[in-house]
Amino acid sequence: MKNNLDLEENVSNSIPNDILKIQKKLCEYEVGSRNYKKYKKILAKHIKNYTMKKRVNSNIKTIEVLNNISN
C-alpha cells in the first residue's frame, strides 16, 4: 500500500500541476474546435518550457559531477 502511494506522489511530482490542469481542460473540448486548438497550443508551450528546464538541470548536474571527478 505504501509503495503505491509513493509511486503516485512521484508521478504527481514529476508532472507540474499547470500541465495537468491544461490537459484536463483540453479533454473537455471536441477535437478540432477553436478552444481545443487554443489549449493544445498552450499545452505545447508549457511542455516545451518544462522539458527545457529538465534538460538544463540535467546538464548542470553532469557538469558538477565532472568537476568533482576532475578535482
Biggest distance spanned by C-alpha atoms of the chain = 57
Residue 3: inside a domain? no
Which SS3 state, helix, strand or coil, does residue 71 take? coil
* pLDDT for 5 beyond 80: no
Name the pTM for this structure.
0.68
* pLDDT for 2 beyond 80: no
Query: pLDDT-derived band of residue 35, with 50, 70 and 90 as boundaries?
Result: very high
What's the pLDDT score for residue 55?
A: 94
What's the pLDDT score for residue 70?
A: 86
Q: Which three cell numbers stand for residue 4?
A: 503505491
Residue 9: inside a domain? no
What percent of the chain clears pLDDT 90, i.e. is strictly above it? 73
> How many angstroms separate the CA atoms of 70 and 64, rounded?
10
Residue 60: inside a domain? yes
Query: How many Cβ atoms are within 10 Å of 39's Cβ, its own excluded?
Result: 19
Count of structural domains within the chain: 1
